[in-house]
Structure 1
Amino acid sequence: MSSTKIALVTGGNRGLGKDMALQLAHKGHNVIITYHQNRELAIQTVAELEQLKVKSVALHLNLSDVKSIPAFIVTLKDTLHSNFNATHFDYLINNAGMGATVPFEEVTEALFDEFLNVHFKSVYFLTQHCIPILNNGGCVINISSGTTRYCNPGYSVYSSMKGAVEVFTRYVAKELGHKGIRANVVAPGPVETDFNHAAIRSNPLMKERLASLSPLGRVGVAEDIGSVVAFLCSDEARWINGQRIEVSGGINI
């Protein structure tokens, strides 16, 4: 595919998002990543992407503040014009998120609202605001979780929001199909990254338990996920639409 394609990966400075950005760059796509707090890490990721001979830019985006999205869109439009000589982009990957393991009985309204804003409300309205500058024939990929299919104690809020995102994705596919825009969900299983305070990486017993639940006998790594996202942004995946694709190694099958 042409290197003129442009992808926007939220939370693309680290973890799963970084690997998604790298895999898209390997396919020749230019990549805009967003970050919330770690600007230095975002700059490092941009440098890694540019080593792959693509254009890349990092933009700040705080998804806990839904009201900041219109201003972000203005910045995005300016960036497309100044850095890519473009008015539109092609692939929106809603990846950014936050993690916490909190028993249902201990969830506060404040925590609920924060997860609602980051994992669902901002995904909904960022997508809505991006559609006017998303090329016809492009695609939206929303990142969900294996825990919408099976239950992991302490994930009641996180997984409920991801469940909402999965329903939303089907509506995006239905309502934007006339523009040739596809929408799909990628739902990772347990992945060893720094997500949720590196819960899996820093807890060998948890890692061993989760690995034992998979027929393949291990937890995932970031590289297991990014390649699937990049595939869904390719012509080879042009007939995949409105689907939830779980990338979990068959955990709890």
Structure 2
Amino acid sequence: MIESSTKVALITGASRGLGRNTALKLAEKGVDVILTYKSGESSARDVVRQIEALGRRAVALQLDIANSKSFGAFAESVKNVLADTWQQTQFDYLVNNAGSGNQASFADTTEDQFDQLVNIHLKGTFFLTQKLLPLIKDGGRIVNTSSGLARFTLPGYAAYAAMKGGIEVLTRYMAKELGPRGIAVNTIAPGAIETDFGGGAARDNPQVNAHIASLTAFGRVGLPDDVGGAVAALLSDGNNWITGQRIEVSGGMML
């Protein structure tokens, strides 16, 4: 029987990239995981197996973060999984990680591209969290995902960065309104990371990689472990007095 004190995190978009790394980092720290995937079921199952190999429990659920109409049914699935797998009614940590990129100049961004970014990054985070609120424990924590691009500017990311700016404002309001329940809400803002995001340019293009490295205080491009470790640290027991904050994880990019 799983103890009622078992900590459980729900991480969206955790079948790959930073979400996957965050799931594994939390599992290493003794946290069980509910992870979501959009279409990569095989990759999600692989993450589940890796978490189980670490001695923790994990469940993968399908979720299209762009489809807010599905959030009610998804919340019901989470409720059932909590009862069946953990004999619990609530979970501890929500990491709103799922997202997608779009590189287009301000002049060339289409309305469809803009709307898709709104649905995934801003509307998705807003209404999924709203639907899951009854399932989050008092004293729990929420981490929203922004980007270094909300602070510094690179041509081609106007719409994407605008959504992340919205996330940062939303985080402060969530922190204020959920404070009476003891729920801490913070934003993690990664810089350029060596993943497949944006076509994998930071990882796979030596010229891009070298240019980004030259812009950071540490002289290198970030790795998934840098971000996953930061999220896990933010959710650790010693950080329960931090809320409403934007924490940039960029290696000091463009200081």
TM range (shorter): over 0.9
| Aligned residue number for residue 97 of structure 1 | 99
In 2: Cα distance, 1:249 partner to 1:47 partner: 31
Moved over 4 A (4+): none
The answer to whether residue 10 in structure 2 is matched with residue 15 in structure 1 is no
TM-score of the superposition, structure 1-length normalised?
0.98
Q: Secondary structure at the match of 1:34?
A: strand
Structure 2 spans left out of the alignment, 5+ residues: none
| 1:102 and 1:155 in contact (8 A); partners too | yes
| Aligned residue number for residue 128 of structure 2 | 126
Aligned pairs (5 A) from 1:24-43: 24-43=26-45
Aligned pairs (5 A) from 1:49-64: 49-64=51-66
| Aligned residue number for residue 140 of structure 1 | 142
| Aligned residue number for residue 187 of structure 1 | 189
| 1:23 and 1:230 in contact (8 A); partners too | yes
Q: Secondary structure at the match of 1:113?
A: helix
In 1: Cα distance, 2:86 partner to 2:64 partner: 23
| 1:99 and 1:197 in contact (8 A); partners too | no
| Aligned residue number for residue 248 of structure 1 | 250
| Aligned residue number for residue 6 of structure 2 | 4
Deviations 1:79-116 (A, max 9, x none): 11111111100000000000121111110000000000
Q: Secondary structure at the match of 2:45?
A: helix
Structure 1 spans left out of the alignment, 5+ residues: none
The one-letter code sitting in structure 1 at the alignment partner of 2:200 is A
Shift of 1:3: 6.5
Shift of 1:202: 2.5
In 2: Cα distance, 1:103 partner to 1:252 partner: 21
Higher alpha-carbon deviation: 232-241 or 53-62: 232-241
| Aligned residue number for residue 177 of structure 1 | 179
In 2: Cα distance, 1:224 partner to 1:181 partner: 25
Q: Secondary structure at the match of 2:204?
A: coil
Which of 80, 83, 90 is the aligned partner of 1:81? 83
In 2: Cα distance, 1:88 partner to 1:199 partner: 39
Aligned pairs (5 A) from 1:102-121: 102-121=104-123
The one-letter code sitting in structure 2 at the alignment partner of 1:160 is A
Higher alpha-carbon deviation: 137-146 or 190-199: 190-199
In 2: Cα distance, 1:204 partner to 1:66 partner: 38
Shift of 1:156: 0.6
Instruction: State the number of aligned residues.
Output: 252
| Aligned residue number for residue 152 of structure 1 | 154
Q: What's the Cα RMSD here?
A: 1.0
| 1:94 and 1:143 in contact (8 A); partners too | yes
Deviations 1:176-224 (A, max 9, x none): 1111100000000000001122121222211111111012111100000
Identity fraction in percent: 48
In 1: Cα distance, 2:211 partner to 2:5 partner: 42
| Aligned residue number for residue 204 of structure 1 | 206
| 1:3 and 1:30 in contact (8 A); partners too | no
| 2:141 and 2:185 in contact (8 A); partners too | yes
The one-letter code sitting in structure 1 at the alignment partner of 2:163 is M
